[in-house]
Structure 1
Amino acid sequence: MKKSLKNTAASLLVLSMAVSGGTAAFALEGQPAPAPGQVAITAAPSDASSLQKINKDFIKLLASGKLAQSIAYLNNNLSKVDRWTASMMVLRLENAQNAALKKLSLRFDEKMQKSIGNAWKKAGFVGAPLDDLWSKGGSGTYTTLLKQVKDEATRKLLSDTRDQGYVLDTEEGWFSLVPNYPMYEKWKSHVSSDIKSYIDIMSLETRIPVWRDNSVVISWADLLQRNLDQEKFLLSYKGSNRYKQVKAHYDSSRLGVFYGDNNTMLFDYDTNGIQPDALEAYKKAIAAGDTKTSPLLMKLSNFLKVVERNDGKLTDEVSQWRKKQVPTG
């Protein structure tokens, strides 16, 4: 019914790294599409050869697998290029991070999982919400966590993942990696409007995931708002290079809005009644929003009419409506 953040990250489109310059570089996958009404490439700096050199040198760094150096290079050079090139460079980094995930994740074997788990427990992170861990640990808990690690192998792995732009994610006691999207926030002023919105969406998913252990771990109101923000992106940036990625999150969140999850079902397992908090949140959103411009709100409004016609219960009519209007498969 859901697609977790780590699974979504693993399925993102991966850039085939080819070292090239000039026109060919702009044709590589990873080049963001312009937002509606925007030209394909904004005005280039007066020294076009300098722009091409920055772009070409960055591609070489990524192709060599030097993610930490690539991140430092972005920090030092992104302000020197136009928005289009800056957007392309940021997305190429994301593609490279996703491409490197599988190999890097192999280092998280059972022994390493146990070592990190012990440090995680000593740091007081067990049971803590992920957004709290961000405030306690800086870049994805690394600062605090490393203070609890003694063996060099674990310290090296955690330092490597931190420097290469990843954060730790944990579910059911197992640690994995996702790109550090909050790190991308410092680049938002240099990129196009669609990629800026994409960074906002992915950063929020990283800091405060929707799903954890087969449960929706944010409020129904926040879940719906997140789904509406994703819908806004899809409606505004239909040609965006990251349309498919946002669509995957949108589809997952929408299932949450209409179904919940195994441990937080929209309709109570015992009474078959709709969760009161969800009903209240949905009604407020519909009243405050515009069903004419939001297909999601229109569908939700129609859904609540069916639910209320059935006294707020999950009847056969409600089930059939959901099955037809919001299929799970």
Structure 2
Amino acid sequence: MADYRGKSRIDRRRRRSRSRSKDVRGGYKLITAEGFIFPIVDYGKLVSYADKMSISMKAYLDVMATESDAATARDAGLAISWDELANRALAAESYVVAFPDTPERKAIEIKYLNYLNMYLIGLNNTPIFDYDTFLILPEVKSQYEQMATTHAGTITGQLTKQLLSILDTTEGAVFAKSKNGEQTNIPAIQQFRDKINASVSSKLPASKN
């Protein structure tokens, strides 16, 4: 006699499996990071419904979709160009300034701080300086100069200009080299880094919520 109960269990598993696959196709995508696979919201698909949303929600989805379509960082390194990172920081800042009272403001503010810290400090596997000389990388300095000039009225531009001014006093050194050739902090730059988040918080508009 056929084991219909076993067949039924298999059918239920298949239905659940198909359902999970449909969920992934319907609004999530699978990504890998440091050997792990996990789902994230596919905001790019939600943007297609923008004509039915408020202006603030569309702006929120635009910021989130940019990240879900192409992750900023992967395995402690930058996965996009410095120019693209600058654009993402500016877009996130623009959202918070334009829509300070939305429920989504906090999420975008956190993302902005993350982008800004990566931009001004760098990542372990994508530093802003040369590991041998500890001097600011030419391509990074060029991006900073463009940011400070083109976006002088933004918080991102103002903080970048501050960092450039400090780098002028250190002759481009992001870190000092000890007698043993080891990397050591430069007080002025360390102080700047420590105050990035506080500086941003003091400049962003307050939320009424």
**TM-score bucket (shorter structure):** 0.7 to 0.9
Q: Does 1:314 align with 2:174?
A: yes
Contact 1:258 1:322 in 2 (8 A): no
Shift in Å, 1:265: 1.3
SS at structure 1 position matched to 2:30: strand
- Which residue number in structure 2 is paired with residue 162 of structure 1? 24
SS at structure 2 position matched to 1:241: coil
| Structure 2, gaps ≥5 residues long | 1-13, 176-185, 199-209
Q: 1:271 aligns with which of 110, 128, 133?
A: 133
Shift in Å, 1:295: 1.7
- The whole-number CA distance in structure 1 between the counterparts of 2:20 and 2:141 is 43
- Which residue number in structure 2 is paired with residue 173 of structure 1? 35
So what's the TM-score if we normalise by structure 1?
A: 0.50
What aligned pairs does 1:77-92 form with structure 2 within 5 A after superposition? none
1:267-300, Cα deviation, whole Å (9 max, x unpaired): 22222111221111111122222x2x31221111
1:161-181, Cα deviation, whole Å (9 max, x unpaired): 324411011112311000110
- The whole-number CA distance in structure 1 between the counterparts of 2:65 and 2:33 is 18
- Which residue number in structure 2 is paired with residue 262 of structure 1? 124
Contact 1:171 1:212 in 2 (8 A): yes
Aligned length: 175
Contact 1:307 1:314 in 2 (8 A): yes
SS at structure 1 position matched to 2:173: coil
- Which residue number in structure 1 is paired with residue 155 of structure 2? 295
Shift in Å, 1:239: 0.6
- Which residue number in structure 2 is paired with residue 247 of structure 1? 109
> Structure 1 residues 181, 321: closer, same or farther in 2, change over 3 A?
same
Q: 1:222 aligns with which of 78, 81, 84?
A: 84
Contact 1:307 1:318 in 2 (8 A): no
- Which residue number in structure 1 is paired with residue 65 of structure 2? 203
Letter in 2 for 1:325: K
> Structure 1 residues 154, 311: closer, same or farther in 2, change over 3 A?
farther
What aligned pairs does 1:1-329 form with structure 2 within 5 A after superposition? 156=18, 159-289=21-151, 291=152, 293-315=153-175, 316-326=186-196
SS at structure 1 position matched to 2:71: coil
- The whole-number CA distance in structure 2 between the counterparts of 1:271 and 1:188 is 48
Shift in Å, 1:317: 3.6
1:46-84, Cα deviation, whole Å (9 max, x unpaired): xxxxxxxxxxxxxxxxxxxxxxxxxxxxxxxxxxxxxxx
Contact 2:92 2:108 in 1 (8 A): yes
- Which residue number in structure 2 is paired with residue 68 of structure 1? none
Contact 1:181 1:202 in 2 (8 A): yes
Shift in Å, 1:324: 3.5
Letter in 2 for 1:308: D
Contact 1:234 1:247 in 2 (8 A): yes
> Structure 1 residues 154, 261: closer, same or farther in 2, change over 3 A?
farther
Contact 1:172 1:213 in 2 (8 A): yes
- Which residue number in structure 2 is paired with residue 46 of structure 1? none
Contact 2:88 2:115 in 1 (8 A): yes
Contact 1:171 1:213 in 2 (8 A): yes
SS at structure 2 position matched to 1:248: helix
- The whole-number CA distance in structure 1 between the counterparts of 2:25 and 2:111 is 27
1:145-165, Cα deviation, whole Å (9 max, x unpaired): xxxxxxx69963762332441
Shift in Å, 1:190: 1.4
Letter in 2 for 1:162: V
What's the RMSD between the two structures over aligned residues? Answer: 2.1
1:174-232, Cα deviation, whole Å (9 max, x unpaired): 11000110111111111111111101001000011111001111111111111011101
Query: Identity over the aligned pairs, expressed in percent?
Result: 23
